[in-house]
Amino acid sequence: MRQRLVVGNWKMNPSTLEAAVDLATRIARIDGGPIDVGIAPPHVALARVREAIGGSAVLVYAQDVHWETEGAFTGQIAAPMIAGIAAGSIVGHSEVRRDQGDDDARVARKAAAALAHGLRVIFCLGESLAQRRAGETDAVLRRQVRDGIGPLDRERATPSTLAIAYEPIWAIGTGEAATAAQATDAVARIRDELGRLGAAAGAFTVMYGGSVTGANAAEFAAAEGVDGALVGGASLKPEEFAAIVAAFR
Ligand code: 13P
């Protein structure tokens, strides 16, 4: 049985530290039961949120991490800085790939740095609408797995440290989620490519992300091969996030 995981990626929200602490406190009351529940607040709120939710089982993740451990990298956060605060970090989110020019090689280095400092990793990948329309989805997903996950140290990148989030770019923030069948199909390709790398592909948690809501979560929870959700907008609403967690329980 693979570990199920539902994580709220707050992105650049909410706008105040007080609101972040309030949101985290409410989410910390959600009972995930056997599944892992996580939140990824903005860097500036990580320490306060961690403190505010105290002994809660909710996992706190950073949204990104730099590949170097220190130095002249203005605006960036290094893995050792968050290692004492967060359980892990998201890497490879399409918004970071888009806005900061991350490519597969850079995402691989970020994931490697996080793992080397004892952090868990949620590794995001997914195709754009143009790539899907051009029939390139399979090639894009396989390349992202090969070039982003392939270089990782097999001893460190294990099913308990590395989860993968399939996030088709066209479904993020659009209200147009993939269908369960599309998610299942993409996840199978991702696992197949993981297997080609020699990894125990069947053991890795693979989540779906992109316009997941309280209303459609059950479809993804029932979708073959989908082990969880990476939730953006709906994770800012505690009741709705609780409904998504409940669907995967
Ligand atoms: P939305 O749930 O807002 O579509 O965002 C998904 C996402 O990008 C999570 O990382």
CA gap 63, 44 in Å, rounded: 11
231 CB near ligand 1 (under 6 Å): yes
| pLDDT for 55 | 87
Please give the model's pTM, rounded to 2 decimal places. 0.98
| pLDDT for 162 | 98
173 CB near ligand 1 (under 6 Å): yes
| pLDDT for 198 | 87
Q: Which residues of the chain have pLDDT under 50?
A: none
Architecture of domain 5-234: Alpha-Beta Barrel (3.20)
Check if 224 is active-site: no
CA gap 102, 223 in Å, rounded: 30
9 CB near ligand 1 (under 6 Å): yes
Strands 59-62 and 88-91: parallel
CA gap 219, 210 in Å, rounded: 13
pLDDT tens for each residue of 110-167? 999 999 999 999 999 999 999 999 999 999 999 999 999 999 999 999 999 999 999 9
Check if 176 is active-site: no
- Cβ atoms of 141 and 125 within 8 Å: the answer is yes
Those residues whose C-beta lies under 8 Å from the C-beta of residue 182, and which sit 6 or more positions away, are 168
At residue 223, φ and ψ (nearest 5 deg) are: -75, 130
- Determine the atom of ligand 1 nearest the C-alpha atom of 124: 10
CA gap 107, 129 in Å, rounded: 21
Q: What is the DSSP letter of 237?
A: S
